[in-house]
Structure 1
Amino acid sequence: MAKLRPEQLAESLKKRLSPIYLVTGDEPLLVQEACDQIRAAARERGFGERELYHADPGFDWNQLLNSANSLSLFAERKILEVRLPTAKPGDKGGKVLQEYAQAPSEDNLLLVVTGKLDRNVLRAKWLKTLEEAGVHLQVWPVGPAQLPRWITQRLKAAGLRAEPAAVDLLASRVEGNLLAAAQEVEKLKLLTTETEITTELMASVVADSARYDVFGLVDKALHGDARGAVKSLQGLKVEGTEPIALLWALARDIRALVQISQASAQGIAFDRAAQAAGIWNKRQPLIQTALRRLKPGQLQQLLRKANGIDRAIKGMRQANPWDELLDLTLNLAGVQSLQPANERLALKL
């Protein structure tokens, strides 16, 4: 089947619902919105139940096969969503995905979500089998040159128009962070009755940003400023910021740290690795500071914690997302808040 870009997905879903969707990429906002579109289209076609699997190391892939082959107790059709943190399911996972893709059930929709795929994964048999049986939606980073156009399209979807200079102003503020740009557009919808956004209006709204900025929090943590990061986290909580927005921002840079760390271990220059991970030049010193402080094992633990918080937010774990976001923020800043044994126990709950 076809490979699609995010902007092609809506039209494709209107025509036909594929039995399998593979959504890949390192842009959390676009990945999340694409998955939301697929789930909504599936619900409209009678897929009333959703089962979510996090395929971390040690995941029992037989769970997926057993669920795929069993009848649902609550709905005739169900969504089987598999999240691959490393984009590498391993031998067992690869075989299970291949087996499923060779004869997908009409009563199931398989949604596989993972990060950016490297060259080795692109040649994997499981990936090619999924592509042949379903749709591969590739989410690419929006670069500096494409960002103004992306913001313009976002404004249009919100029923707004903006002067080119106003768009450039917003693009310069968010520095490539699509979630921040989307939040600013939503804020414009709430704070103004005007449909034409002038540069002056954009400047006033952008200048009136929340006192505790989501991405300022992440930068403080990367810099090792635990006190400042925690203060920002508490401020954002008071202001009513959704936990998922904080997790997106934290997880994005944690994944970038893991990717750059692995590339550096292979002898790849930092500048090249940072560029491949989507880190803008202005933020590279922060990333370097964090990498000097955090070892590869610690980075993997941060990634596991982020996955655990995601499950907690979605009700898949009995845990307080805000408490765990505090723990994750402290750890990213270099403060070990729990004993390793307690961390492993917490992630299992």
Structure 2
Amino acid sequence: MKIYPDKLQGQLSREILSLYIVSGDEPLLVQESCDLIREVLKKGEFSERDLFHVDNNFDWQQVTYSNGSMSLFAEKKIIELRMSSTKPGKEGAVALTELCQSISEDNCVLLVMPRVDAATQRTKWFKTIEGLGGFIQLWPVDAKQLPRWIDNRFKRAGLTASRDAVQALVEKIEGNLLAAVQEIERMKLCSSTGRIEIDEVMGGVADSSRYDVFQLIDAALEGNTSRVVKILDGLQLEGIEPLFLNNMLAREIRNLSAMAHKIDQGQPVDAVMRSGRIWDKRKAPVAACLRRHRATDLEQMQSRLLRVDRMVKGLEVTGRAWDELASMVVELSRTMA
């Protein structure tokens, strides 16, 4: 069944389903919905969690084993699958269907994936699993909705922001919701009155190294490799967290990949960028990047980002997260051979 995002908390308070599908391309909204589900499940004594990152080479037998294996202490368990694509392939579709039809009463499956398009929602495997649990589809906050969304986030943080402050933050974050929330949290810590004016927004943005990450991504989109290398050196010296850079890259490359697929299908670039809600001043660098990289290139980068995520979290013992991220950003700025 479909569950609207604003109704999720109410549904969780009434009953816990055996399956939740969280779908969307906005990392913050996906993260917050997943956090809410995990929090409620934890209170319901789901104290164990098996986490799987699903890519093209994933061994689906791992999930079957996880569902069938009993905990040594007979605790309830969350089986969480983070999918890099909404197309699991024939083997994956069968495995997901069988898993969701045979979920142990002591398990709950949390399936996290990019935005599920209408064609995927019509497939047999998806209709089957949606009918067995809850489907939460998260839509991006568009430019018209963004001022109200940011104003509400200020209020959620216990702050009152002037209209100029809200608009300044809208312009600076360019649709990046995670950056908006992080800035609001910073202002909350720094504010002594609870009132936010434009000076607090502009000062924080100017001084925050996080915005160098946005400049890094813009330089990569533009194809300015020398600037990419310079910003990377600065970020490494400042000790920027690899996980933050990885999340920002994942968001950008996921969006680029979705647009590249549409272009490969023959859709005009301008129409694709309109549907992707690309801001006017970013259209030229985004278009340049899409001319350099095909969808297959970007899918490979998504798989590498999943591996970096595992490195940062200690689930991957080989490789260095920072080196892999730096290599990927440089590749994004260049034409693939």
SS in 1 for 2:131: helix
Equivalent pair of 2:292/2:335 in contact (CA under 8 Å)? no
User: In structure 2, do the counterparts of structure 1 residues 56 and 205 end up closer, same or farther at CA, with 3 Å as the change threshold?
Assistant: closer
Stretch of structure 1 that moved more, 122-131 or 203-212: 203-212
Q: Name the counterpart of 1:206.
A: 205
Could you tell me how far apart the structure 2 residues matched to 1:116 and 1:211 are?
26
Deviation of 1:334 after TM superposition, in Å, equals 1.8
Q: Name the counterpart of 2:286.
A: 287
Q: Deviations along 1:19-60, whole A, 9 cap, x unmatched?
A: 111000110111122112212222222112211112211322
Could you tell me how far apart the structure 2 residues matched to 1:194 and 1:168 are?
20
* Aligned-CA RMSD value: 2.1
SS in 2 for 1:47: coil
Divergent runs of 4+, >6 A: none
SS in 1 for 2:273: helix
Equivalent pair of 1:213/1:232 in contact (CA under 8 Å)? yes
SS in 2 for 1:133: coil
Q: Name the counterpart of 1:38.
A: 37
Q: Name the counterpart of 2:334.
A: 334
Q: Name the counterpart of 2:265.
A: 266
Could you tell me how far apart the structure 1 residues matched to 2:315 and 2:53 are?
10
Q: Name the counterpart of 1:235.
A: 234
Q: Deviations along 1:287-339, whole A, 9 cap, x unmatched?
A: 11112222443222212211211221222211322121112112112288xxx
Alignment of 1:1-349 (within 5 A): 1-5=1-5, 7-73=6-72, 76-210=75-209, 213-318=212-317, 319-334=319-334
Could you tell me how far apart the structure 1 residues matched to 2:256 and 2:163 are?
34
Stretch of structure 1 that moved more, 289-298 or 150-159: 289-298
Structure 1 unmatched runs, 5+? 341-349
Stretch of structure 1 that moved more, 286-295 or 263-272: 286-295
Per the normalisation by structure 1, the TM-score is 0.89
Q: Deviations along 1:185-209, whole A, 9 cap, x unmatched?
A: 1220122222111234333333433
Could you tell me how far apart the structure 2 residues matched to 1:212 and 1:175 are?
11
Q: Name the counterpart of 1:347.
A: none
Stretch of structure 1 that moved more, 195-204 or 316-325: 195-204
Equivalent pair of 2:308/2:321 in contact (CA under 8 Å)? yes
Paired residues, number: 336
Could you tell me how far apart the structure 1 residues matched to 2:163 and 2:142 are?
17
Could you tell me how far apart the structure 1 residues matched to 2:131 and 2:183 are?
39
Q: Name the counterpart of 1:346.
A: none
Structure 2 unmatched runs, 5+? none
Could you tell me how far apart the structure 2 residues matched to 1:66 and 1:211 are?
41
Equivalent pair of 1:80/1:108 in contact (CA under 8 Å)? yes
User: In structure 2, do the counterparts of structure 1 residues 117 and 258 end up closer, same or farther at CA, with 3 Å as the change threshold?
Assistant: same
Q: Deviations along 1:177-236, whole A, 9 cap, x unmatched?
A: 111111211220122222111234333333433385221111111112223223323333
Deviation of 1:146 after TM superposition, in Å, equals 0.7
Deviation of 1:73 after TM superposition, in Å, equals 3.3
Could you tell me how far apart the structure 1 residues matched to 2:331 and 2:44 are?
43
Deviation of 1:277 after TM superposition, in Å, equals 2.9
Equivalent pair of 2:293/2:335 in contact (CA under 8 Å)? no
Deviation of 1:74 after TM superposition, in Å, equals 5.6
Deviation of 1:238 after TM superposition, in Å, equals 3.7
Deviation of 1:272 after TM superposition, in Å, equals 1.6
Per the normalisation by structure 2, the TM-score is 0.92
Deviation of 1:68 after TM superposition, in Å, equals 0.4
Report the residue type matching 1:301 in the other structure.
Q
Q: Percent identity?
A: 43
